[in-house]
Structure 1
Amino acid sequence: MRDSVKPGREKKRGSHVKLSDVAKRVGVSPITISRALRNPEIVSEELREVILRTVDEMGYIPNLAARALAGRHSGIVGVITPSLHHPCFTGVMMGIEERLRATDLRVQYANTLNDADQEISQFKSFLAQKPAGIILVNAEYYDGLAMLMDAAAFPVAHVADLSQPPETLLVGMSHHVAATAATRFLLSKGYKRIGFIGGISDIRSRRSRAGHEEAMRQAGLGNPSLMHGVDGSTSIGLGRRLFTELLERMPDLDAILAQNDDLALGALIECNERGIKVPDDFGICGFNDLEFAQFTSPSLTTVHVPRHDLGRRAADMLLRAIREEPPEEQRVDLGFSIIERGSTRSMPKQ
């Protein structure tokens, strides 16, 4: 019995569908097909639709290894990040994929969990694949990566704190400036004993902590006992723990700035357990403006970080570099905004 094959999907016996097979069906040269798949915008919309439809009908799958041997790169964009598991990265990832979706480039992710050796190892793994480029998201150990980046035959774009080394193809914000502004916002509401809870293992948390300390010191309210952090990943549970420990040390605390919304939510849950009324008796400000922040009770005041735009702009920078087009900007500060919600209020003047 002959195998049934859908119309337009003739079987190729003995080999997979080749680029030349697609070109023959469309009636153009293989190089035209290759260029159209790599850069769809260079062919007319009508021809592009015919090519894409034929590729789909015939089940053609580009041979990335062969492409790497024959051309400058494999068509892969490597994305190296310390936290694939954290919701903060989701927005960045969506921005990257939105920008690259209409191209012939494909994204591969690598997770380092803030490990210096893994940052170097993952970068070397992508080197072996002859990628079109790499996006480093919140890399920590640039000293170890410097020689690899200098030797790479492809561009590297960065999503990073603006205090970090890259001078080109960098998109980011200043966590120090953002935390300073958030602390000053809390001070403007009448809070005076403002604590900070967060991690201490990455540069963003350290910059945020320093920004908080600076704002409190300039207000004449600096106190090292207001700071509490641990080395490791943050979570809602850790937020409860850090807030509890800080409150035991500073029982007259009247507000906190949390390094991220996870920790802020943990503090809010602990306040509810203890009967501490938020915002009547206590103020909480988070960081990142994750989706759940607007749906907690009360909703969380937080620092909005444009995570989607960070990813999209970094991918656009990289794409321009891959195509050898001049960048619109070499370093982009996307900034932040403070979103005031229900977890803070103006305190009565004492």
Structure 2
Amino acid sequence: MANIRQVADKAGVSIGTVSRVLNNKPGVGKKTREHVLAVAHELGYSPSKYSPNISPEVTHLGFLSSFRTITTNPFYADVFHGVEQACQDLHINLSVSSLSVENHQLQRIPRLVKDNYINGLVVAGGVISPEIFITLSKLSHVPMTLVDNHFDLCPWDTVMTDNVEGARLAVEHLVSKGHRHIAMLGGPNHPSIVERRTGYKNTLRKHGFTPLLIAPPEIRSDITGLTPTGGACGVVEMLQQVPQTTAIFCSNDEQAVGALKKLQELGYAVPDDFSLVGFDNTHMVQFTSPPVTTVSVDRATMGRIAVQLLLDRIQFPDRAVTKATIGVNLVERGSVAAPRNHKLAA
């Protein structure tokens, strides 16, 4: 019996593409869609609510995230919606709980982990350390799939965004507009943010430009780093340390909202004085003034793929570990222009 990874390998496409095809989502060409469906049919893989591939013993999955991400972070809210929809389609019960994490330490054990009534866990969030994952694995004794988190020698299936490519798209867009002094508002050392920094630095260096990474304590914090507060603090630091900056690449959209507000409070105009790019394409950046150019991430698809990988793992416990990477694209709005006014490119 095939799994989603085998379908992707045989079709010569990514796991994300297979998921979009099988869930009838847009963004896949007609020929590719037909090819993937043919391969899935050939291999007998059809993860729908009518699928014969789902074991009748799989009745209950769990979703875990840190308290902040599960309640206030729009990125993980959309991931959860994808998980929830996949479980509804497959008639699988879903329990949700939060992890209380402080200084990378687990403060309490969620009941759904201790009671062992679930068949598998989807665990989302970059704030969760490898040590916490190991603790959860030992306590729950069920398979896990990680979302937006990965580390070296990770023994669990993971679903990540193509963060390096997303950062490359953002920086290339700014460079194409004539920007040479491009700052990045950093963030905590979460796996996704580290990858975004890597993409930012590599792309600037390819063009012969110097990376300008802004990382005051507020931005490095797990609590404030990826919030509007972190973005506002980053702008203040940037103006003091690298005033030659003409464009700002933010680690996520929440930062971008805070950066935009702070720039406007200080009397600067976006994009006339500074161009600004976010990351994630959450709803908030569509309604700012100006709307923010950003890198789009299909977060609901991340959730659906996490469920599919988890079900595959339950059925095939000895298969190779899978790292699924979800593609990204740039969404151009009104926050980027060529450098002008008092900010001139070198």
Q: Quick check: TM above 0.5? A: yes
The number of equivalent residue pairs is 283
Residue 208 in structure 1 maps to residue 200 in structure 2: no
Alpha-carbon distance between aligned partners in 2 of 1:149 and 1:166, rounded to the nearest angstrom: 12
Match of 1:261 among 248, 253, 257: 253
Change (3 A) 1:265 1:159: same
C-alpha distance 188-144 of structure 1, shift in aligned 2 (>3 A): same
Q: How does 1:5-20 map to 2 (within 5 A)?
A: none
**CA apart distance, 1:284:** 0.1
Instruction: Find the residue that maps to 2:278 and give its secondary structure.
Output: strand
Distance 2:213 2:78 in 1: 34
Corresponding residue to 1:156 among 144, 149, 160: 144
Q: Percent identity?
A: 23
CA positional deviation for 1:243: 0.6
Can you list the C-alpha shifts for 1:35-80, whole angstroms capped at 9, x where unaligned?
Answer: xxxx98589xxxxxxxxxxxxxxxxxxxxxxxxxxx967x432222
| TM superposition shift of 1:291 | 0.5
The reply to whether residue 77 of structure 1 matches residue 61 of structure 2 is: yes
Task: Give the Cα separation in 1 of the matches to 2:254 and 2:116.
Answer: 36
- Asked if residue 338 in structure 1 is aligned to residue 330 in structure 2, the reply is yes
Equivalent AA in structure 2 for residue 131 of structure 1: I
**3-state SS of paired residue (2:277):** strand
The secondary structure found in structure 1 opposite 2:105 is: helix
CA contact (8 A) 1:198 1:259 kept: yes
Deviation by residue 1:72-100 (Cα, 9 ceiling, x = unmatched): 67x43222223213111110010000010
1:341 aligns to what SS in structure 2? Answer: coil
Work out which structure has the larger RCO, using CA pairs closer than 8 Å and 6 or more positions apart in sequence: 2
| Cα contact 2:277–2:336 (8 A) shared by 1 | yes
Larger Rg: 1
- Match for 2:336: what amino acid? T
Correspondence 1:196 to 2:188: no
- Bigger drift between 154-163 and 79-88 goes to 154-163
- Tell me which moved more, 109-118 or 205-214: 109-118
Q: Which amino acid aligns with 2:106?
A: Q
Per the normalisation by structure 1, the TM-score is: 0.70
Structure 1: unaligned runs, 5 residues or longer: 1-38, 44-70
Identify the residue that residue 87 of structure 2 maps to in structure 1: 100
Aligned residue in 2 for 1:4: none
Matched, 1:319 2:307: no
| TM-aligned CA distance change 1:226 to 1:245, over 3 Å | closer
The Cα shift of 1:187 comes to 1.4
Deviation at 1:287, TM superposition (A): 0.8
- Alignment TM-score, normalising by the size of structure 2: 0.70
Q: Which runs of 5+ in 2 are unaligned?
A: 1-47
Q: Is the 8 A contact 1:76 1:108 kept in 2?
A: no
Give the whole-Å Cα distance in 2 for the aligned partners of 1:160 and 1:127. Answer: 24
Distance 2:213 2:120 in 1: 45
- 1:197–1:185: structure 2 CA closer, same or farther, 3 Å change rule? same
Instruction: State the distance in 1 between where 2:174 and 2:325 align.
Output: 24
Residue 305 of structure 1 corresponds to which residue in structure 2?
297
